[in-house]
C-alpha cells in the first residue's frame, strides 16, 4: 500500500525538492495538482481534492475551472471560467512547482477541456506525468456540470493522454451508449472506453445491487475487482471527487495504480461510513477517515 511507501521518507526520484527559507536540505514531498470546480460547501470539487491530498500527505495544488453556487441540497448556479485563465493557472504551476500526478474534475465546456489538454499534453507525453480524468458530468444532486459538446472534446483531446479514466456507471453509460446493469456489461464497457485512448479504466460501480464493486481494467488487459460492503447513507456528496483524488495521491507518491486504487477504495469506504452528518441534503464525507 502506498502509505507504507510514504513512511520510507518519500524516496521518489521525480519528486521536487522543497525550496525556501524554511526548507531543510533533503526535504522532498509528493505533489499533486487538481483541475476542477469549486464547491463552497467544501464537500466536492477542489475543496474535497485538496483535503484528500492532505490526508495522504501529498502537497496539493489547484487550478479552478468553474465556480458553483451549491450546498448539500443542490447546485443553483455554475460559472465556467475563461479557457485562457484556466490554462494560465495550469502553466503557472507546471513552470514553478511541477506535480507528480494530475487529476481533472468538472471542466464545464469544450473550450476549457481543450485548454486543459493543451496545457498538459507536453508534460504527460514528455515526462510521463500520470493524468487521472474523472469526467464529472453530473453533480451528486443530478445537475449537469459538463455540456454535451464538451463530452466529445474530452474523448478527442483528453482521453488519449489519460493514465486512468474513472467514470461512474452513469457516466460510463453515457459514453459507451448502452446500459451497464451488471459486471459483465461493465467489463464490456471498460473495453470500449479503453479504445478511446486511456491506458487504464476504473468504472465506479457503487450503484450496482449488492456490494460496492468497482471494476479496474489495467493496460495489460487484466481485470481487477475492488469490493467493499455497500453503505446505506445519504452522505455521499463528493464521493467521486474524493475517490479519484485519493488515486491521484497514490500515483504522486510513486505507488502503482493497483495499490493506489486499493488504498483509495479503503479510504472512500471509511469516509462514507464515518461521514459527519452535515447539511440537510447529500452531506459531505469524512475526509479525516
Phi, psi torsion values for 124, nearest 5 degrees: -65, -50
Is 241 labeled as catalytic in the residue annotation? yes
H or E element in which residue 213 lies: strand 212-217
Name the active-site residue from 204, 206, 242, 265: 204
The rounded distance, in Å, linking the Cα atoms of 16 and 98 is 8
Is 240 labeled as catalytic in the residue annotation? yes
169: number of CA atoms within 13 Å, CB side? 16
Q: How many CB atoms lie within 10 A of CB 67?
A: 18
Is 238 labeled as catalytic in the residue annotation? yes
Name the active-site residue from 34, 68, 173, 239: 239
Rounded (5°) CA angle 260-117-119: 100
Is 239 labeled as catalytic in the residue annotation? yes
Name the active-site residue from 37, 206, 238, 250: 238
The rounded distance, in Å, linking the Cα atoms of 271 and 191 is 30
Say if residues 261 and 247 touch (Cβ distance below 8 Å): yes
Name the active-site residue from 37, 108, 205, 240: 240
Name the active-site residue from 241, 250, 269, 283: 241
The rounded distance, in Å, linking the Cα atoms of 213 and 75 is 28
Name the active-site residue from 72, 236, 242, 269: 236
H or E element in which residue 194 lies: helix 183-194
Is 105 labeled as catalytic in the residue annotation? no
Q: How many CB atoms lie within 10 A of CB 109?
A: 19
Residues classed as catalytic: 204, 236, 238-241
Amino acid at each position: 500500500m502506498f502509505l507504507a511507501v510514504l513512511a520510507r521518507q518519500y524516496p521518489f526520484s521525480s519528486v521536487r525538492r522543497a525550496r525556501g527559507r524554511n526548507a531543510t536540505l533533503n526535504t522532498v514531498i509528493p505533489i499533486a495538482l487538481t483541475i476542477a470546480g469549486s464547491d463552497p460547501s467544501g464537500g466536492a470539487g477542489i475543496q474535497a481534492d485538496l483535503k484528500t491530498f492532505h490526508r495522504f500527505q501529498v502537497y496539493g495544488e489547484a487550478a479552478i475551472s468553474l465556480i458553483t453556487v451549491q450546498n448539500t441540497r443542490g447546485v443553483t448556479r455554475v460559472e465556467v471560467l475563461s479557457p485562457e485563465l484556466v490554462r494560465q493557472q495550469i502553466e503557472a504551476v507546471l513552470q514553478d512547482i511541477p506535480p507528480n500526478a494530475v487529476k481533472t474534475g468538472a471542466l464545464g465546456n469544450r473550450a476549457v477541456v481543450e485548454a486543459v489538454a493543451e496545457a498538459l499534453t507536453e508534460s504527460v507525453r514528455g515526462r510521463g506525468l500520470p493524468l487521472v480524468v474523472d469526467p464529472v458530468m453530473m453533480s451528486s444532486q443530478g445537475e449537469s456540470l459538463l455540456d454535451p459538446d464538451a463530452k466529445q472534446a474530452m474523448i478527442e483531446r483528453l482521453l488519449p493522454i489519460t493514465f486512468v479514466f474513472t467514470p461512474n456507471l452513469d457516466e460510463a453509460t453515457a459514453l459507451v451508449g448502452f446500459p451497464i446493469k451488471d459486471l459483465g456489461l461493465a467489463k464490456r464497457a471498460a473495453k470500449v472506453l479503453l479504445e478511446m485512448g486511456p491506458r487504464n479504466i476504473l468504472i465506479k460501480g457503487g450503484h450496482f445491487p449488492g456490494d460496492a464493486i468497482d471494476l479496474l481494467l489495467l493496460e495489460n488487459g487484466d481485470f481487477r475487482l475492488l469490493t467493499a460492503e455497500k453503505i446505506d447513507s445519504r452522505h455521499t456528496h463528493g464521493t467521486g471527487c474524493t475517490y479519484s483524488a485519493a488515486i491521484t495521491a497514490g500515483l504522486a507518491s510513486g505507488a502503482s495504480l493497483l495499490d493506489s486504487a486499493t488504498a483509495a477504495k479503503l479510504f472512500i469506504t471509511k469516509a462514507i461510513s464515518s461521514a459527519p452528518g452535515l447539511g440537510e441534503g447529500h452531506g459531505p464525507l469524512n475526509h479525516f477517515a
